[in-house]
Structure 1
């Protein structure tokens, strides 16, 4: 009879981990693994990556989860490889081959035309193998049951697109580098490029190299994170305010900070601010978000006094030699 597993004692952990998600792991599995490694009480992420995909996956812990939704709308950058002439049931290497076709000659002129065709505002039909819901049910659930349901095209924006003709494991392929708006499916983009060439395509690999202000160069991979001591893991976290890069900072004195945390509006000589990151002056700490209208600071998402105290304590612990 095997010995029972030791119960993990959870603790308050606040911050953002920029994880380089490995291939083959779902976003939720990666989140739960890191939550366990940190012994964190509360965790969430800022949008999923397919198990096939690797790359930037910001994971939020504690107070940072209050701002995770802000990054669902962030632009994202990807690098992918699309194998030409082979169409699969899922649009990627995980699916079954459903058709094959000869690949036309692809030169710089053709690549330039494709880049122009697939840059800007586009209409894209979401793939059946996706988590998008229809009638309360994820599309991939219909797909697994062998059903295909009608999907409305959605408007997306491809801000940048660079294509390069390469060989991939003996197959003609395209290397795709792109920066896109939220809701863009790179698998579908690869398939649509293959259709435009008349031969079809599927993604062999997909890597997210940036999301919002976060770049792959800032990320830690899961193996390295596992190898760290617990203090090193906690020190690898960014402060919750890392999620508020697009917000205008507003700083309040002690009295106003306390009232703001109670949900009260504050008056001041501020211009109108659509999105504000509100900080206390003494002690210096993030209080939450808000917006300013007609000289009035209106609270949005607020941290609790306990969360602020825990963040200040952990900050002191990581900076004390």
Structure 2
């Protein structure tokens, strides 16, 4: 039985759900999930949780980084090249200086309207389903955090292209940034390429393709990232044997907390030997269980 996190390099043309389905076939087990949805056209890091590690997806560190290419002069129905072109105008006079003046407007806490073709739900229905059905709805405005945008390259032409790296928080749509940047310039723009280079603590340099994963399994050398390693950014609390047993049985216990632990929302809990037991939350000076691993899984993690 496989348990742990997999740093998948998602190929183009697959949804996150497609990737989970393929992973289930590769690992021959059903309990598999993913963190951080990627559009079908996008490639790059897609963290996959296998086995009981699915219970720890929500505790992974935040933050994502993308490499994006924005094409100016074209608008599409999906805000990327998967959609139909709505407007097209040659903009050979557009300069990098024109764009760089506007980039600071997209850094910090900003509001954006997600693309009409997105997985966000409105009254229980995903936006892309409504869009495909030709239904127009008011897409809710979202507040997102963009930490940094850096220009990598600029290419002139009838439809100039700009390469960027964008570091942002969860829920940020890079397609929306491309679209809104084009609207600010008055020429329109769409996302021509998107690669996620970092997500939830996993980096592209250590990611694996499906082919590499299958080969490593065949060679019996695939190693998944244990949840305690993926969650190593969380403060750790070690419990003596009697306290560990009570905590694993669902009891909130009182212990002396280190200062760093008192400022954290969640903590990693281990026994005195360092064996990972699960995740706790500090409530009214008590260590309350949030996720507790079954004892046999704790011993093997």
List structure 1 segments (4+ residues) > 4 angstroms apart after TM superposition: none
Q: TM-score, normalised by structure 2?
A: 0.91
The number of residues matched between the two structures is 297
Q: How does 1:186-197 map to 2 (within 5 A)?
A: 186-197=174-185
1:276 alignment counterpart: 267
1:121 alignment counterpart: 109
Q: Does 1:38 align with 2:27?
A: yes
Q: Does 1:21 align with 2:5?
A: no
Question: Which region of structure 1 is more displaced relative to structure 2, 133-142 or 95-104?
Answer: 95-104
1:255 is displaced (CA, Å) by: 2.1
Q: How does 1:1-321 map to 2 (within 5 A)?
A: 12-71=1-60, 74-103=62-91, 105-164=93-152, 166-167=154-155, 171-230=159-218, 232=220, 234-235=222-223, 237-271=224-258, 272=262, 273-282=264-273, 284-293=274-283, 295-309=285-299, 311-312=300-301
- Over the aligned positions, Cα root-mean-square deviation in angstroms equals 2.1
Separation in 2, partners of 1:90, 1:295? 49
Q: Deviations over 1:33-71 (max 9, x none)?
A: 122212234111112111101011000011211111234
Q: Secondary structure at the match of 1:308?
A: helix
Separation in 2, partners of 1:92, 1:274? 37
Separation in 2, partners of 1:174, 1:95? 19
Question: Which region of structure 1 is more displaced relative to structure 2, 267-276 or 177-186?
Answer: 267-276
Structure 1 gaps of 5+ residues are 1-11, 313-321
1:108 is displaced (CA, Å) by: 4.4
Q: TM-score, normalised by structure 1?
A: 0.86
1:212 is displaced (CA, Å) by: 3.0
1:246 is displaced (CA, Å) by: 3.3
1:103 is displaced (CA, Å) by: 1.4
Q: Secondary structure at the match of 1:266?
A: coil
1:277 is displaced (CA, Å) by: 0.4
Separation in 2, partners of 1:98, 1:209? 30
Q: Deviations over 1:209-239 (max 9, x none)?
A: 111322111211222112223464642x100
Structure 2 gaps of 5+ residues are none
Question: Which region of structure 1 is more displaced relative to structure 2, 250-259 or 49-58?
Answer: 250-259
Q: Deviations over 1:128-185 (max 9, x none)?
A: 1001000110000110011121112111121101235533997411112111121111
CA contact (8 A) 1:225 1:233 kept: no
